[in-house]
């Protein structure tokens, strides 16, 4: 009888533990990718196994759920960050700026996602910035804020291009690079120069 109880308890623990790890790692509990070859560059992270034959089943499940990182690595690579240059979580109550260097690929974009991994629910129509806009404006500066910057024109040299974080809460920023060069794929830490996200102000802060 005692042996049967022990076997049953072990089976239950195994089932609970296995189910919990599967839900967590596949993103049904947490939206963060936890497995694979993680590349970290200046506060930005990427799962370098995505888009390769080496991608694990949990990450495949994560991709199937969120659909954000579905292309092969030769087609696109993705970096994301949830913190500013000081390591503080990104928050829609704050205003940020970043200057995007030219990336080792044919095209790049910067996009804001809310804490659930979706585009923020607002009607501003300003959730992304890309290399085409940078060429047209002659500037790679991006301002992230819940309200349009007040001083000067919204695409002016001092303000940069506005991305709206309205209704984003604690948000993420994703930098996509399409058709990365072979060198960038082989040695990302040397090839990519990823921009620090500088916090300019926050609601309720007293200006220094």
Inter-residue long-range contacts of 179-183, CB under 8 Å, 24+ positions, other chains counted: 179/74, 179/75, 179/76, 179/105, 179/106, 179/107, 180/73, 180/74, 180/76, 180/77, 180/103, 180/104, 180/105, 181/104, 181/105, 183/104
Q: What is the pLDDT of residue 161?
A: 93
Q: Work out the percent of the chain whose per-residue pLDDT is above 90.
A: 55
> 72: pLDDT confidence band, cut at 50, 70 and 90?
confident
How many whole angstroms separate alpha carbon 98 and alpha carbon 124? 20
Q: What is the pLDDT of residue 116?
A: 86
Q: What is the pLDDT of residue 37?
A: 76
Q: What is the pLDDT of residue 167?
A: 96
Which CATH fold topology does 37-57+71-202 show? Jelly Rolls (2.60.120)
How many whole angstroms separate alpha carbon 102 and alpha carbon 119? 24
> 61: pLDDT confidence band, cut at 50, 70 and 90?
very low
* Closest to 25 (Cα-Cα) out of 16, 34, 17: 34
Q: What is the pLDDT of residue 19?
A: 41
Predicted structure pTM score: 0.73
| pLDDT of 26 above 50 | no
Q: What is the pLDDT of residue 28?
A: 42
Question: Mean pLDDT across the chain, nearest whole number?
Answer: 78
Q: What is the pLDDT of residue 115?
A: 87
> 50: pLDDT confidence band, cut at 50, 70 and 90?
low
């Amino acid at each position: 009888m005692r042996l049967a109880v022990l076997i049953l308890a072990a089976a239950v623990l195994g089932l609970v533990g296995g189910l919990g790890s599967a839900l967590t790692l596949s993103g049904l509990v947490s939206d963060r990718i936890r497995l694979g070859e993680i590349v970290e560059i200046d506060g930005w992270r990427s799962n370098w196994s995505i888009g390769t034959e080496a991608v694990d089943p949990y990450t495949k499940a994560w991709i199937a759920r969120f659909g954000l990182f579905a292309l092969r690595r030769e087609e696109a690579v993705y970096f994301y960050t949830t913190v500013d240059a000081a390591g503080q979580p990104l928050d829609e109550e704050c205003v940020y700026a970043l200057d995007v260097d030219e990336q080792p690929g044919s095209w790049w974009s910067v996009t804001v996602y809310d804490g659930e991994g979706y585009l923020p629910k607002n009607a501003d129509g300003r959730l992304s910035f890309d290399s085409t806009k940078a060429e047209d404006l002659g500037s790679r500066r991006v301002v992230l804020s819940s309200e349009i910057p007040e001083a000067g024109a919204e695409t002016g040299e001092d303000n940069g291009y506005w991305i709206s974080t309205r209704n984003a809460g604690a948000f993420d920023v994703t930098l996509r690079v399409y058709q990365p060069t072979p060198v960038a794929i082989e040695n990302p830490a040397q090839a990519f120069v990823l921009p620090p996200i500088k916090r300019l102000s926050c609601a309720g802060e007293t200006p220094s």
